[in-house]
Structures are given as C-alpha cells and as structure tokens.
Chain A
Amino acid sequence: MLRGLLSFCRNLLRKTSVEADLHEEINSTVEILTEEKMRENLPRPEARRRALLELGGPEQVKERIREARAGTMVEQWLQDIRHGFRTLGRSPGFTVVAVATLALGIGINTAVFTIVNGVLLRPMPFPQPERLFLVAYTPQNGPFDNGPCLLDRDYLEFRREDRVFEQIASFAGGSANLSGAGDPANIPAARVTPDFFTVLRVNPSIGRDFLAGEDQPGHDHVALISDSLWRNRLAADPSALGKVIKLDGDDYSIIGIMPIGFRFPSNAEVWRPLATRIDPHASMMRPVIGRLKAGVPPRAAQAELDAFTRRFPSIPGEDRTAWRARILPVKEMLVEKIRPSLLVFTVAVGFVLLIACANVGNLMLARAAGRQPEIALRIALGAGRWRLVRQLFTESLLVSFAGGTAGVLLALWGVQPLLSLAPDGTIPRTEMIRMDGWVLAFTMCMSLATGMIFGLVPAFQTAGRGLREAVNRGGRTFTGRHESLRGALVIAEIALALVLLAGAGLMLRSFLRLRAVDPGFRAENVLTATVDLPDSIYRTASQMQAFHEQALSNLSVMPGVLAAGAVNWEPLGGNLVKGDFQIEGGRQLPSGYMVDKPCVSPGYVSAMGIRLLSGRDFTERDDASAPGVVIISRSVARDLWPGEDPIGKRISMEEHPKSKDWLTIIGVVDDVKQMSLSLKSDAAMYQPYRQVARPFFLSHMTFVVHTAYDPQTIASAMRAAFRKVDKNLPVQSIVTMQGLIAETTAEPRFRTRVLGLFAVLALSLALVGIYGVMAYTVVQRRHEIGIRMALGARSGDVLGMILRRTLLLAVAGIAIGSAGALALTRVLAKFLFEVSPGDPSTFVAVALLLCSAALGAALIPARRATRIDPMLTLRYE
C-alpha cells in the first residue's frame, strides 16, 4: 500500500520524468535492435525499419506500458480495499468496537481542533489581517493581565514619528446606558479614534464612517451602531440614519450601521468617537492598533518601536526592565487568556486518542492472532509477505477512516455541548468556530496517522512472521512476542490515563480549595443589582445620594427582604479603589500601605452578613452633618493597632486634614475577598455614603438585599423598585451573590470540568483496554489454566494469577505515567490555587483509583478463568 502510494505519487508528481524515461527506454530499444540488424549487414535505414517493425509501433508499446503501470496499482488497491471490506464484514463485532473507539478518539480531537482552529488559527475577519498589529507594553515575561495598551502620550508621540505603519488608531471598550431605542439597557460600547475603521479597512454597510475632526468637542455626538442593534432595537429601519439615541443621557445621532457580525472591539454594539489628547493630570492607557505598510516586515516595525522606546522612556511603573513595548498580532488581544487552556485541552485529547489507538492496536493483535491459520495458508500458497502487510495495513486504514468519518459526525454534534461548558465570554471568536476545510484536513491526517500507529506494528508482526512458525503453531497458540507487545500497550494506556487523571485531579483539588475559601460575607440569599448613574443627569453628589436613599427605602420595604444595603464596588465585582490615609498623631503608614475604600450604606454590613467584630455599624444618623466615621477591616486593625482597640482612633483620607476631616473608627468588620477568591483579602476602610462628597465614589452603586427565601423570586420586584425612582435608568444586572461567586470561579470550573471529562474518557478507554487484554489472555491460556486446575490449583490461585498480572501492568503504567505527569503537570501551575503541580496526595489518590479500577476491569475475565472446566479444555485440545 505504502509503496503503491509512493509510486502513485511519483507517477503523478514526476509525470514528465516518468514519460521521459519511458521515451528513452523505447528509443534505446529501437537503437539496440537496429544495431543488431546492422550486424546482419543491412543498411541502417532498412535495419531501423525492421527494428521498428519488430518492436511493433513505439507509441502503442508506450501506451500499453502506461496502462500496465497504472493498472497494477489501481487494481491492487481496489483488490486490497475489497478484501479489507470483506474481512471486516466477517467480524462485525471487532469492526464496530474498533470504529467506535476511534470515532470517540478522533471525534473529540476534531471537536477540540474545531475550537482551536476557530479561536487561535483563523485570521481576524478584516482585510489583510496579517498586517494589523497592536502596539503595546507587555511584561517581559508572561502574559498581560489587563490587555495590551499604550499611554495616550506615547501613542500620540509614536504616531507622529512612525514610518512603517500606514495608519495608527486607538480605541477603548466599555459600556453605555442606552435609552431612546426600546427599553433602557446597558450595552457594550466602544470609543474609537476617527481613523479606526480605516485602519481595519471595514466600512459601515449603511451610512458613513467617522470623519476626521469628529473626535473634537461639538462634533463628537455621532455614533455608529452594530447591525444587531439596528435590527433588534430599531426594527432594521432604513431611516434610522440621523436618528438620535441617548447614550449615558447624552444625544448621539446615528451616522452609520456596521456590517453584520462586526462587533470589534469587545463585542461593541455602538461606536463613539474617541479623542486622545495629553492631559497633564491623567493619562489614559488604551489599546493601539496599526496597519503595516505593504511589504514592511513586522521585524522592521518592532525595530522602529524599540528605537522609539529608547528615546522616550515613559514606561509605566517604576520597574522599566519588567516591561517592553512590542507589536502583537491583533488576535492576541482576544486569545491571550484562553490559549493556555486550549493548548492543555489539545494535549489532553491527544492522549485520549493515543489510548484509543492502543486499544484498537490491541484488538488488531488479538484478531491477527486469530487469523494465523488464514495467513499461514496464504503464505503457503505463495502470497508475498509485503503484499500481506499491505493488505492488513489497508484494513487498518479502512477502520481508521471509518472512525474518522464517524468522528467528524461526533464532532459536529459535540462542539456545541463542549462550548456550552465554557462560561460566557471565556471563549472569544465563537463566530469563527465551525467545521471547515482545515478541520476536515486535520481529521484526515489524524485518521491516517492513527491507522499507521495502530495498524503497522500488528501488520508486520503478523505477516512478517515466518511461514514455518505460522504453520507449526497453526493459529492455536499465541506467541510471547504478541503477549509482551500487548502488555506494553496496556502499560502505555495506563500511563497516559494517569497523566490525564493527575491533571484533572489537580484541577479539581484546586477548584475545591477555591470554593472552600471564606469570602468574608454570607453569599446565600443575597441578591445584587448594579446601577450606573449617568453624570449628564445626576450632576452632584447630593442628587446621587437622593437616588440611593430613595432606592434603599423602596428595597427595604419589599416583601421578603430582611435587610438592604448598597456598596459602590461590590466584592468580587472586579473593581475597587485603593488609597492611603493619615493616622492621627502623625504615625506613618508602612511604606506602600493601601486599603480598599468602599463606600457603603447603613445596613450593608448586615445585608451582606459581614461579621461585625467590634464596635457598631453605620446608622442613618451618620450623614453629612454628623461627625465623620469609618469602619475598618480586621487586617487594618491587626496591621496598624496590634493588641490595641482601634475603636475611637481617628484617621483622615485627606493629605492635609483640617479638623473636620478626621474620621473616627466606630467598628471593625471581618476581611472580605474583594478582587478574587484566589487572592488574599485586601485591607479595607468603609465610609458611609452620605459622608462622601465626590460623585466618582457614588455614580456606580451595587445594591444588595438579604432575602428570607430564594432571592431569584424577587428579581423583578427589585427592578420595579428602581424604576419607581428613575424610569429611564437601566439596571445593569441583577444576580445573586452566589451567582457572582460562581461567575468568578467559572473559568477554573470550566477548565476542571473539561479536563475531568477528558480524563474520564481516558480512564474508560484504558479500562476497556485492560478488560479486553485480560479477557483475551484468559481465552488464550485456557488450556494452561485447565491443566493447572486439573493439577489441583484452586480458583483463588487462578484469580490471583490474572489479577497479579494486571497489577503488574498497572503498577508499571502508574510508575511511567507518574514520571510523565510530574513533568507535564508543571504547565498547569498557573491554573492551580494552593495546590502544587506535584501534589503528592493527588498523585497517590489517582494512582489508587487507577489501580483499583484496573483490578476491577480485570475481575470479570479473571472470574471467567476460574470457571474453566479442566476436562473441557483438555478434550478440546
């Protein structure tokens, strides 16, 4: 088969040279014949004429040769394939199990590759995406946390100096409160510099792009909207152009509608102009994108950027060496976070496929042993050994391609369930995930490769054996070589399964540790709702406080509500404000000491169930006219007043506090996980919202209610309570606190689940493999077992014999697998929380699980062995 394939390719690829060779051969034959005739003293022309006559027409001969060459190959191929189908059809059990095993292995690989292909490999859906690059600071080592971006100042400077990019634009993702088009809603919204779409080379499908100068005040109340926004909220009205919508309370007129599916960046529904200018007080960091000039290699752009950063050393933070300005493919921005997970999954399913291959290889070996008589007969009848190898191999390929086809079907069905395991937003570019030519080509290659892996060795083992051996043994007995090969395959399966189980075990352990973390508050029966007060309507702190007060009083009288409160940056919400403060008496804070500064309503502490350790909670009397008060968290008390009672001590948030700026500590509460369950609790200092004057601290507020029963049931009542205060204000999200916690642990849970799923698959396949091999061993050795029992061996001895062998294989597999796992689980380190990649207890647990599962799988054939009737087997022989 292989040789046929090679020669087929040779014939195709070197068609001209094969033709030339043929031509030359015929010519040389004519010459040889002519010379032969000339030796009979014929003149050359006559000699040549006779030579041609004897040859019988050079072109006809050539044609017949061509036919013969092609004929043999195709004929032998077809014959092998026909034969393969016939023999496979004769053993449907084998065929079904082998194809199903491979379909599982190939299917899951195809599904994962479909996702990897769509997310990581397909280019971005812009014209000539290979020329689009982000310009960004990146950490010297490791991925960026907050997305790739550049300071406005550097962006403007770089844009002025740059010679290698056609154009450079900047943009920012975010959200906006939309009203004036259906119900008020908070939608993803982007701000982009006017040349942004020119850089991407994407044009609105209706209307126009931003014009230069539309980022300037007075001209900047224009917006582009997404196709989906246009369809869902403006009924796809063609007269929507020029219509005015309200974003965060300001009017914007629609100037264009983007093409279907275009949602870049950050899934935006609406794009507004962005002005970048240098502000001496604050410099924003934003992503920057540029299109390289045609023919300029990315290396040149990087060199230019390096030269630029050397002259303008304005890298954020103190540690310059930790950062580097780099150009990155645009895709990086989207796939940076998910890539490590996807690569881990790819390796994991690769292991599953290898286990499937080992299983099918084992089946092949067992089957080949059963076919020894047939093969012996064919060798005796003169079948070439090579031809037999080729035939057995053709069978393997038929099986693997059938498995591949079934695998594609499985993957078609399986991609969606796999994706649905992922929490929203974890997997970017889902619109690119589909089965395409690349995926099919990948599956083809994989089928071919698996066919080779599980098919070649058994083929050579079987057909390569000498005739005498085959005839002598007559197919009755297995050979030692087969037995040890089978053992090696089982060991490999167990080793592979162990690596996956260890990986999944570590993830699970880490996830459980994460879940067991005490967040510092009561998550049960708490419902949260977040509102953003647009500063175009709520202009002063007191307007905002009035809203909060009214909302809180509406919430607290709702039936089922035990307590209501509000906080500006809710725990685990992903945002916080940190800062330092002064201690009365001139004592300095430890250098770099910063605390979270949430601002809360009276009742927040009890609504959230945050433990009040000493002192009192805020009350309604702690308002602007009352003396300033704060509540500190346990860490602040421990860090600054160890062994002392902090209650009554005074601090100030101001740099040069006047006497009214001193705030008295009235209570100490427990630490709360503010950023993430996996990070340590931040020290915090709570202020009552009525004593906070800066609108910045009041415009974003999360309301929490502690309910007497299932908090979901009052979600709509909660929405109504807000609408009663301001009917135009969209409530961003109403989620339970437990939901919020689940959201923050969603990614680890996703990774754990997917890896766990693959590990379970691997384990099941390995167990099927162990069962199969042991069952086969029992059948093969029934004669020997029969004799042993006839000689007095008890069934316990026989059981022990089989289980001992299983244990031996399992232990060998576990030893090899542990070594491999120790090397491989290191890549999981960044996913693990309070678990080391070599965690001994996980490894021991996984090894024990695998051992007992292997013994369990071997128990069925072992018990069958004990029921062998010695008389029957001896008579059979």
Chain B
Amino acid sequence: MTEQRTDLLRGTLDLLILKSLTLEPLHGVGISRRISQITREAFHVSFGSLFPSLHRMEERGWVRAEWRTSENNRRAKYYQITSLGREQLKSEERDWKRVVKAMTTAIQST
C-alpha cells in the first residue's frame, strides 16, 4: 500500500500492532503493553495513536474487533488479526527489512 510507505512512522506503528496480535487477540491496553514488551520498552505507544490506527486497520479489514470478557471479568474490545492482516504484516515486514538494509548500506557507505 503506497500510502503507508510514504508515512514511515504510521507504517511502523501498524507493523508493530499487527505483530503484537500474531499470538492472540488483545484489547487496547494489552496491545500497548505487548508492544512495549516486544520492543524491550523501546517504544511506548500512546493511546491517542494506537486507537485511531486500530480503527483504521479495522476499516481496512486487517483486524477484526469483538467484545469479550477480560481475565478480570471486565468487558473489553478485543482485536484479532485477520488473514488479510497477516498478508499485510508480511509485506510490511518485507518493506521494513528492505528499508533497514538500504539505510544500513547507506550509512556504512562512507
């Protein structure tokens, strides 16, 4: 998707969210905590960015949302990655690697 590639940060956030959902469905707070965990606390995603991104991905059919009861008996909206989302994740991972490789080469060239 061209528009993601032009916006690297947003693309990165989408990638992180999709990645965090590959194991199990999570609610908003869960996703935020999982991202911190898998990036070893390097990224803290603000909810002000996380939720719009989640909803956008839901519109695009990359994730599916449903209301469930959380472990503490609280109703929460859980997000689950779809097969379309998995394809998207694969392509974003590929793009990201390409960018990283290109950037690394560029930086090391001089």
Residues of B contacting A65 with CB < 8 Å?
A: 51-52, 55
Chain B CB within 8 A of A25 CB = yes
Residue-by-residue, is A25-61 near B (CB-CB < 8 Å gives 1, otherwise 0)?
1101101110110000000000000000011110011
Residue-by-residue, is B44-57 near A (CB-CB < 8 Å gives 1, otherwise 0)?
00111001110110
In the assembly, what is the distance between CA of A24 and CA of B47, in Å?
15
Are the C-beta atoms of A35 and B51 separated by less than 8 Å? Answer: no
Are the C-beta atoms of A28 and B77 separated by less than 8 Å? Answer: yes
Q: Which of B18-51 contact A (CB under 8 A)?
A: 27-29, 46-48, 51
Q: Which of A70-78, A153-161, A477-485, A747-755 contacts B (4 or more CB under 8 A)?
A: A70-78
In the assembly, what is the distance between CA of A680 and CA of B28, in Å?
87
Residues of A contacting B74 with CB < 8 Å?
A: 28, 31-32, 35
In the assembly, what is the distance between CA of A54 and CA of B33, in Å?
12
- One of B47, B53, B60, B95 near A56 (C-beta < 8 A): B47
Residues of A contacting B92 with CB < 8 Å?
A: 382
Chain B CB within 8 A of A577 CB = no
- One of A28, A31, A69 near B56 (C-beta < 8 A): A69
A601 CB, nearest partner CB in chain B, Å: 88
Are the C-beta atoms of A61 and B51 separated by less than 8 Å? Answer: yes
Residues of B contacting A35 with CB < 8 Å?
A: 72, 74
- One of A32, A75, A384, A386 near B29 (C-beta < 8 A): A32
In the assembly, what is the distance between CA of A21 and CA of B59, in Å?
15
Given A68-B53, A69-B55, A72-B56, the answer on whether A28 and B47 have CB atoms closer than 8 Å is: no
Are the C-beta atoms of B59 and A33 separated by less than 8 Å? Answer: no
Chain A CB within 8 A of B88 CB = yes
Are the C-beta atoms of A55 and B47 separated by less than 8 Å? Answer: yes
Chain B CB within 8 A of A281 CB = no
Are the C-beta atoms of A25 and B29 separated by less than 8 Å? Answer: no
Q: Across the two chains, which residue of chain A brings its CB closest to B92?
A: A382
A301 CB, nearest partner CB in chain B, Å: 54
Are the C-beta atoms of A33 and B56 separated by less than 8 Å? Answer: no
Given A28-B75, A29-B47, A56-B48, the answer on whether A68 and B84 have CB atoms closer than 8 Å is: no
Are the C-beta atoms of A68 and B72 separated by less than 8 Å? Answer: no
Are the C-beta atoms of A71 and B56 separated by less than 8 Å? Answer: yes
Residues of A contacting B1 with CB < 8 Å?
A: 382-384, 387
Residues of B contacting A386 with CB < 8 Å?
A: 61, 84
**A contacts with B: majority SS:** helix
Given A32-B76, A56-B47, A382-B1, the answer on whether A73 and B84 have CB atoms closer than 8 Å is: no
Chain B CB within 8 A of A64 CB = yes
Question: How many residue pairs between the two chains, A and B, have CB atoms under 8 Å in the bound complex?
Answer: 84
In the assembly, what is the distance between CA of A26 and CA of B51, in Å?
9
- One of A61, A72, A381 near B60 (C-beta < 8 A): A72
Residues of A contacting B47 with CB < 8 Å?
A: 29, 54-56, 61
Are the C-beta atoms of B94 and A32 separated by less than 8 Å? Answer: no
Chain B CB within 8 A of A7 CB = yes
Chain B CB within 8 A of A67 CB = yes
Residues of B contacting A57 with CB < 8 Å?
A: 48
In the assembly, what is the distance between CA of A242 and CA of B41, in Å?
101
Chain B CB within 8 A of A3 CB = yes
Residues of B contacting A71 with CB < 8 Å?
A: 56
B7 CB, nearest partner CB in chain A, Å: 12
Q: Across the two chains, which residue of chain B brings its CB closest to A35?
A: B72
B78 CB, nearest partner CB in chain A, Å: 10
B94 CB, nearest partner CB in chain A, Å: 7
Residues of A contacting B84 with CB < 8 Å?
A: 384, 386
Q: Which of B60-110 contact A (CB under 8 A)?
A: 60-61, 70, 72, 74-77, 84, 87-88, 90-92, 94-95
Are the C-beta atoms of B55 and A68 separated by less than 8 Å? Answer: yes
- One of B3, B53, B94 near A75 (C-beta < 8 A): B3
In the assembly, what is the distance between CA of A71 and CA of B52, in Å?
10
- One of B3, B27, B59, B61 near A69 (C-beta < 8 A): B59
Are the C-beta atoms of B27 and A29 separated by less than 8 Å? Answer: yes
Residues of A contacting B95 with CB < 8 Å?
A: 382
Q: Across the two chains, which residue of chain B brings its CB closest to A69?
A: B55
Given A28-B76, A386-B84, the answer on whether A67 and B52 have CB atoms closer than 8 Å is: yes
In the assembly, what is the distance between CA of A45 and CA of B27, in Å?
23
Chain B CB within 8 A of A841 CB = no
Residue-by-residue, is A250-262 near B (CB-CB < 8 Å gives 1, otherwise 0)?
0000000000000
In the assembly, what is the distance between CA of A24 and CA of B84, in Å?
27
In the assembly, what is the distance between CA of A26 and CA of B77, in Å?
9
Q: Across the two chains, which residue of chain A brings its CB closest to B87?
A: A384
In the assembly, what is the distance between CA of A75 and CA of B87, in Å?
21
Q: Across the two chains, which residue of chain B brings its CB closest to A29?
A: B28
Given A54-B47, A68-B56, the answer on whether A3 and B3 have CB atoms closer than 8 Å is: no
Chain B CB within 8 A of A852 CB = no
Residues of A contacting B87 with CB < 8 Å?
A: 384-385
Residues of B contacting A31 with CB < 8 Å?
A: 74
Residues of A contacting B72 with CB < 8 Å?
A: 32, 35
A472 CB, nearest partner CB in chain B, Å: 20
- One of A33, A64, A69, A384 near B48 (C-beta < 8 A): A64
Residues of B contacting A67 with CB < 8 Å?
A: 52
In the assembly, what is the distance between CA of A818 and CA of B52, in Å?
59
In the assembly, what is the distance between CA of A75 and CA of B51, in Å?
18
Given A56-B46, A64-B52, A75-B3, the answer on whether A29 and B94 have CB atoms closer than 8 Å is: no
Are the C-beta atoms of B59 and A36 separated by less than 8 Å? Answer: no
In the assembly, what is the distance between CA of A54 and CA of B32, in Å?
11
B97 CB, nearest partner CB in chain A, Å: 12
In the assembly, what is the distance between CA of A751 and CA of B65, in Å?
59
Are the C-beta atoms of A7 and B59 separated by less than 8 Å? Answer: yes
Residues of A contacting B46 with CB < 8 Å?
A: 56
Residues of A contacting B60 with CB < 8 Å?
A: 72, 76
In the assembly, what is the distance between CA of A79 and CA of B92, in Å?
20
Residue-by-residue, is A519-549 near B (CB-CB < 8 Å gives 1, otherwise 0)?
0000000000000000000000000000000
A80 CB, nearest partner CB in chain B, Å: 12
> Could you list 7 A-B pairs, sorted by A, with CB under 8 Å?
A24-B75, A31-B74, A56-B47, A382-B90, A384-B1, A384-B87, A386-B61
Q: Which residues of B come within 8 Å of A, CB atoms?
A: 1, 3, 27-29, 46-48, 51-53, 55-56, 59-61, 70, 72, 74-77, 84, 87-88, 90-92, 94-95
In the A-B complex, list the 10 residue pairs whose CB atoms are closest, starting with the nearest.
A382-B91, A68-B52, A64-B52, A68-B56, A25-B77, A56-B48, A72-B59, A32-B29, A72-B56, A28-B76
Question: A31-B74, A32-B29 known; 14 other A-B pairs, CB under 8 Å?
Answer: A24-B77, A28-B74, A29-B28, A29-B47, A32-B76, A33-B29, A61-B52, A64-B48, A69-B55, A73-B59, A382-B88, A384-B87, A385-B87, A386-B84
